[in-house]
Amino acid sequence: MKRVRTADLTPGMITAEDVYSYNDQMILPKDTTLTDKMITRLEFYSVLAIKIKEKTNEVDEESVFSISDDSSYSQKVKASKQFQSFEKSFLEEASSYRNTIHEIVEKNAPIDTRKLFDSVMGLITSEMNGITVFDMLHNMRQYDDFTYMHCINVALICNVFAKWLKLPDEEIEILTLCGLLHDIGKLLIPDSIIKKPARLSTAEYNVIKTHTLQGYNILAEYNISEAIKETALMHHERCDGSGYPLGLKGDKINKYAKIVSIADVYDAMTAARVYRGPLCPFKVISIFESEGLQKYDSKYILTFLEHIAATYMNNRVRLSNGKEGDVVFMNHTKISRPLIKCGNEFIDLSKEPDIFIETFV
């Protein structure tokens, strides 16, 4: 048996023990052969790592979301000059951000929120819209500095999300900074725990969960928006009370933390893997729908999912039955299952439970 980070799991691996969420809800039983959808569910529940058996099973194509598909759409994005320029700027910003955060955590260096905000916003050029930003982020590869890159991703997602919510400019800036600094507490968690190759004890797992309080304590010393501090503390809280560290419900959770929690999980679920390209956003929407919209504030999660779906309206997709078509109409009661036009045929996915969007083409 060995412990494997969720980000490094691949379909066919077999669970060596039951897998539970942080509030003791069983997600996967022992001896489960992992599929891509199961791995994505682990990201949804913020499971950091699991124990797997040395043996790996063969997996059929149906058990993997587009495993061979670093899809043509993804390839086109990555081949574009816009993406190559974005990736170069992004990696430079991630390196700079890493140094800045270490100065703050280790030397109590001042936090210049204006400089941080401007640096992140410098990644978004004037011609980029919501779909372009998301395409850029979806296609970034996994690098060693994952925590820092994830924070920048979440900041950019929050910036777009804030505009979808029609927040005023001041709140857009605050929300972007909330996303950028939400995981700062992870820098105080020992690498010996985060990268431990064996099973985490309950005590060690509880140490990892303290990154929320650690982040709040770091930021509490600074004269910055209380929303930024509370988001570091509350971004793992859930509206149904199933989150941590305080088990808060509904209106007890800071509104910025509610928004960041959605961006945080979305970024984790859509990330490209070693065995596939980025996960199709419609599959991520489906997981949000099936795993519990009640965990999130309805006015935020529905706005987010509807806008994600709307940004890909008229995009060409491949369905699980092999047909290709265009997304032409969104189903507001089942956002992940829009109406698809395949030639002269219309397929209403809300009425075809066995057919789903496989990938963009």
CA distance to 64, 274, 360, per residue, from 11 (Å): 7, 11, 21
Q: Which residue has the higher pLDDT, 23 or 159?
A: 159
Q: Is the dihedral of CA 339, 61, 135, 185 positive or negative?
A: positive
Domain residues for the domain of 355 are 312-360
Per-residue pLDDT of 219-247, as tens digits, reads 999 999 999 999 999 999 999 999 999 99
pTM beyond 0.75: the answer is yes
**Which residue in 124, 141, 125, 139 sits closest to 76, CA to CA?**
139
Tokens describing residue 123: 């990644």
Q: Is the predicted pLDDT of residue 64 greater than 80, yes or no?
A: no
Q: Is the dihedral of CA 146, 147, 149, 154 positive or negative?
A: positive
Q: Which residues pair with 241 in a beta bridge?
A: none
Residue 178 CB partners (closer than 8 Å, separation 6+): 158, 227, 228, 231, 256, 257, 259, 260
Per-residue pLDDT of 294-328, as tens digits, reads 999 999 999 999 999 998 899 999 999 999 999 99
d(CA 172, CA 168): 6
* 262 shares its domain with 178: yes
With bands split at pLDDT 50, 70 and 90, how would you rate the model's confidence at 85?
Answer: very high
Q: What is the mean pLDDT of the chain?
A: 88
* 259 shares its domain with 331: no
**Reduced to 3 states, what is the DSSP secondary structure of residue 130?**
helix
CA distance to 91, 110, 142, 149, per residue, from 77 (Å): 17, 38, 16, 19
* 227 shares its domain with 101: yes
CA distance to 74, 88, 121, 123, 130, per residue, from 83 (Å): 11, 9, 16, 11, 14
d(CA 135, CA 248): 33
* 52 shares its domain with 84: no
CA distance to 179, 238, 240, 251, 295, per residue, from 243 (Å): 18, 5, 8, 14, 9
Per-residue pLDDT of 140-155, as tens digits, reads 766 555 778 889 999 9
CATH code assigned at 220 = 1.10.3210.10
* 35 shares its domain with 151: no
* 59 shares its domain with 76: no
Catalytic site residues? 186
Per-residue pLDDT of 247-264, as tens digits, reads 999 999 999 999 999 999
With bands split at pLDDT 50, 70 and 90, how would you rate the model's confidence at 7?
Answer: confident
Per-residue pLDDT of 332-345, as tens digits, reads 999 999 999 999 99
* 29 shares its domain with 150: no
